[in-house]
Amino acid sequence: MTRIGIGIVGGGYMGKAHAVAMSAVGAVFDTALRPTLEVICTTTAEGAAQKGRQFGFARSTADWRVLVDDPAVEAVVIASPQETHRDIALAALARGKHVFCEKPLGMGLGESREMVAAAAKSGCVNMTGFNYIRTPASQLAREIVAAGELGDITYFRGEHTEDFLADPELPASWRTEGRANGNMGDLSPHIINATLALLGPVKSLIADIETVHSTRSSPQGPVAVTNDDQAQIMCRFANGAMGSLFISRVATGRKMGYIYEIFGTRGALRFDQEDQNALWLYKGDAKPDRQGFTKILTGPLHPDYQPFCLGPGHGTGYQDQIIIEAKDFLQAIATGKPAWPTFEDGMLVNQIIEAAWKSHEERRWIDVASV
């Protein structure tokens, strides 16, 4: 067993999730590398100290440079706002430290490409955080598609829908300011990542993006919403299949609508994150009186399930997705082999987002490779 020092930038929702994951991953997966929580960084010294005590870190700081420079920190987890990702990642990679960066990778395609180049130059392990695609059910879906069980894929439909801003009476906040915090910057990366993981490269697309609630209330009166609420994207994949995506933060009634359907010449499947431990599979070769979608409940025979639970159908949860990410990150460091999704995979997501905005602004189909 070998220890590895971990530094986490960010003590909010995702910072906590990664701290818990690093504390649990060794026991869950019996990893060769065992994390030690060395330094946590948040925006204030007082807050960092409090989070350090809560999560079990040896030290705390309000300056991410102190964390990156700490000789005991061998790997850095970036769980801070996306405008900070580039600078922290570049500094850590320059010091030979492995980096796990939450999505989206950079503020835009330019930053992401810079981060990819820095990671390649450093030779360090680099990963982008897309946790939802790591559920046992979605890992099973990837296996089914890759094995050709659905035949030739003809159509993909994906969505990421939530309703946290569906109410027009909700006041303005940081979420309603700046493109990076909008629907395309916040929610779309997850389902775009799933799209690429399941179907492969997107060749071309056309997109329509809109702000549904153009103003929000504030203590000073109505203020303009400066980012988007929802978007729809039609696409054509490199393998010839057609596809469509719908992404919305104003989809009334949806809490975690990370959904995809895949249709092939010999079968189909569908998945809904609100029922994350089930995958629905249709097999076209079934007898006519036996045809229909079958609900597969995930269990110990499916990827990354058994370390959490021996009971089929008992299920895994959100935090378990982050623990699986931690396992993959540590395994990549231990073996020296890249772990999907790398920074380059995160950059490809940014490329599609950039192409979608270009399509929306120019009102035309866009060749993704040209962006």
Give tens-digit pLDDT for 358-369: 999 999 999 999
In the chain, alpha helices (H):
13-29, 45-55, 64-69, 85-94, 109-122, 136-146, 183-186, 188-199, 318-335, 343-362
pLDDT (0 to 100) of residue 1: 66
Q: Are residues 184 and 212 in the same domain?
A: yes
Print the domain residue range for 118: 2-131
258/42 Cα distance (integer angstroms): 30
Last residue of a domain, one of 81, 111, 131: 131
- What pLDDT is stored for residue 199 in this prediction? 98
Alpha-carbon distance of 350 to 107, in angstroms, equals 9
At which residue do the structure tokens 């950059």 appear? Answer: 347
Amino acid identity for residue 174 in this structure: W
Q: What is the pLDDT of residues 259-315, one digit of tens each?
A: 999 999 999 999 999 999 999 999 999 999 999 999 999 999 999 999 999 999 999
State which of 77, 104, 131 marks the end of a domain: 131
What's the chain's length in residues?
Answer: 371
Same domain, 92 and 166: no
On whether residue 207 sits in a domain, the answer given is yes
Look at residue 46 and tell me if it is in a domain: yes
Do 64 and 124 lie in a common domain?
A: yes
pLDDT of residue 337: 92
Please report, for the domain that includes residue 62, its CATH number: 3.40.50.720
Angle at 105 between CA 99 and CA 110, to 5 degrees: 115
The pLDDT, as a whole number, for residue 60 is 98
- Quick one: 143 and 116 in the same domain? no
Q: Which residue reads 């599979």 in tokens?
A: 281
Q: Domain containing 286 — which CATH number? A: 3.30.360.10
SS3 360: helix
pLDDT at 117: 98
Which residues sit opposite 66 in a β-bridge?
none
Residue 342 lies in a domain: no
Quickly count: other Cβ atoms within 10 Å of residue 364's Cβ: 9
* Confidence (pTM): 0.96
pLDDT digit string, tens, across residues 69-95: 999 999 999 999 999 999 999 999 999
Residues 152 and 271 in one domain: yes
Q: Which residues contact 338 (CB under 8 A, 6 or more apart)?
A: 125, 332
Are residues 108 and 179 located together in one domain of the fold?
A: no
Count of structural domains, the chain: 2
> Does residue 49 lie within any of the structural domains?
yes
Segments of the chain scoring below 70 in pLDDT:
1
Task: Please check whether residue 282 lies inside any domain of the structure.
Answer: yes
**Does any domain span residue 333?**
no
Q: Do 88 and 168 belong to one domain? A: no
**What confidence score (pLDDT) does residue 196 get?**
98
Residue-wise DSSP of 305-319: TTTT-SSTTS---HH
Q: How far is CA 356 from CA 58, 130, 251, 329, in A?
A: 44, 20, 20, 30
Residues 214 and 256 in one domain: yes
